[in-house]
Amino acid sequence: MTTTPRHSTRAHPALQALAEADPAIAALSLWCAHRDGSDTRTDGATITYGPDFAELPFHEQTGLAAHHVLHVALRHPARLAGLQSRLGEGFAPDLYNLAADALVNEALLLAGHALPRPAVTLTGLLSESLGQDLAPEAALAEWDVDRLYHALAGRASGPGGAGGKARTYARERSFDPDLDPSPGGAEDAGDVEEAARWRQHIARAMDAGRQAGRGLGRIGHRIADIPEPRTPWEVILRGLLARAVTVLPQPSHRRPARRWIAGVAEAARTGGPTPGFEPGRRPLTDVPRIALAIDASGSIDDARLALFWGEVTGIARRMRAELHLMVFDDQVRVRDRVDPTQTRLSLPELPRGGGTDFRPVVAEALGLGAAALVILTDLEGDPGPAPSGLPVIWALPDAGRRTPPYGRILDLSA
């Protein structure tokens, strides 16, 4: 019986060379699993090296090994799996892989590594697809892979859109996807701990690189894509809604409290004073309502709408509440009651175009007596005055530094 070697013989010399060429990458490589395989790819924390890797010149082998180590350290396979789970069929894995490769390659070239040519780069991708001409340092400091993916996937279907231009650039550079989703699937609460561990690994590795004065350690502080330990936004949303729809027993003057009945009986038996009336509690018969509003204005693209609808169906499956869906631009265009018992919910035909006005949505949520209002939007419009007694959650695909005058922001890119 043959067994699979625990370490890659093909990559061993290149990984040894990284110890001298780039102490930061070399330190990170110790936390990766290296295996020989049929092709060169990254899957979770495992890197496989195929025959194509062995055919490269040695300096390109070293750069390509560093490329895959950085994919693992930045947790691209796990993040890909998480976004794929949320978007479902609307997810474009080739564009996510392209964004991840462009970021990694730009960082490695800036750190002095050689890569197999032609290679996609972040500056090249931004220039060709989004019309942005940035210096490498500025591009790495501004963009992370999730933000870049949403920017590219917004109009991926059209050849003249960002996604179409990105795919043209990828073909011209002979781009070949090299990421597989993490075997663990979508990110969850336990994944937060894994992100925290990798951030610690990266911090220690960058310290070693800075002290050595070469490699990734010289420029690592500029990389905006370094993962941060943070609670996934799905968990935050679930907690916010759970608190909002919690219904406490209310006083009812139609039925006395048991304590008062006992006090009256005791007063009659002993001849003491009759206690003042004490109301009982009304049974919990009211079903809380959640209003879910989808911004379908001209500024919301198909990829973001798919993300929004994924959240609507996710909430419908998890929450025991009456769910009311509203689709709006400058007024409410679609109103629907969502049945949480349905296992598959179809996105209704959405009107597109127009401006954005949040006031009609807020007014309808107040009229429904909603316990909470979730607005899935890019926040390009006037929020209006704060509604009294209605918790508002603004769910944004890329919150950045935007702050509405009221409510809680939930960054869907977190």
What pLDDT does 100 receive?
96
pLDDT digits (tens, 9 = 90+) for 93-119: 999 999 999 999 999 999 999 999 999
Mean pLDDT across the chain, nearest whole number? 81
Alpha-carbon gap, residue 140 to 223, rounded angstroms: 5
Choose among 101, 229, 227: nearest CA to 175.
Answer: 101
Question: What values do phi and psi take at 382, rounded to 5?
Answer: -85, 115
**pLDDT tops 70 at residue 188:** no
Choose among 305, 363, 377, 309: nearest CA to 331.
Answer: 363
Length of the chain: 414
Please, how many CA atoms are within 13 Å of residue 365, restricted to the half-sphere of its CB? 29
pLDDT digits (tens, 9 = 90+) for 151-168: 888 754 556 788 899 999
**pLDDT tops 80 at residue 23:** yes
Average pLDDT over residues 113-129: 94
Average pLDDT over residues 207-217: 86
Structure tokens at 322: 């009456």
Average pLDDT over residues 208-225: 83
What pLDDT does 6 receive?
57
Per CATH, is 289-411 categorized as 3.20.20.70? no
Q: Which residues contact 70 (CB under 8 A, 6 or more apart)?
A: 25, 28, 104, 107, 108, 216
Domain ranges of the chain: 12-229, 251-282, 289-411
What pLDDT does 94 receive?
94
What pLDDT does 193 receive?
73
Whether 94 and 167 have beta carbons less than 8 Å apart is answered as yes
pLDDT digits (tens, 9 = 90+) for 30-73: 999 999 999 999 988 899 999 999 999 999 999 999 999 999 99
**pLDDT tops 80 at residue 245:** no
- Assign 281 a pLDDT band (cuts: 50, 70, 90): low
Burial of 93 (0-12, 13-18, 19+ CB in 10 A): middle
The three-state DSSP-derived secondary structure of the chain is CCCCCCCCCCCHHHHHHHHHHCHHHHHHHCCCEEEECCCCEEECCEEEECHHHHCCCHHHHHHHHHHHHHHHHCCHHHHHHHHHHHHHHHCCHHHHHHHHHHHHHHHHHHCCCCCCCCCCCHHHHHHHHHCCCCCHHHHHHHCCHHHHHHHHHCCCCCCCCHHHHHHHHHHHCCCCCCEECCCCCCCCHHHHHHHHHHHHHHHHHHHHHHHHCCHHHHCHHHCCCCCCCCCCHHHHHHHHHHHHHCCCCEEEEEEECHHHHHHHHHHHHHCCCCCCCCEEEECCCCCCEEEEEEECCCCCCHHHHHHHHHHHHHHHHHCCCEEEEEEECCCEEEEEEECCCCCCCCCCCCCCCCCCECHHHHHHHHHHCCCEEEEECCCCCECCCCCCCCCEEEEECCCCCCCCCCCEEEECCC
Out of 20-29, 120-129, 272-281, 372-381, pick the least confident. 272-281
Q: Which residues contact 200 (CB under 8 A, 6 or more apart)?
A: none
Give the torsion through C-alpha atoms of 346, 352, 354, 355, to 10 deg.
40
Q: Which residues contact 160 (CB under 8 A, 6 or more apart)?
A: none
Longest dimension (CA), the chain: 103
Average pLDDT over residues 280-309: 69
Out of 96-100, 139-143, 205-209, 311-315, pick the least confident. 311-315
Alpha-carbon gap, residue 349 to 345, rounded angstroms: 13
pLDDT digits (tens, 9 = 90+) for 314-368: 666 666 677 888 888 888 888 888 765 554 445 556 655 667 889 999 999 999 9
Whether 212 and 23 have beta carbons less than 8 Å apart is answered as yes
Whether 206 and 24 have beta carbons less than 8 Å apart is answered as yes
More confident position, 334 or 235: 334
**pLDDT tops 50 at residue 285:** no
Whether 211 and 24 have beta carbons less than 8 Å apart is answered as no
What pLDDT does 240 receive?
74
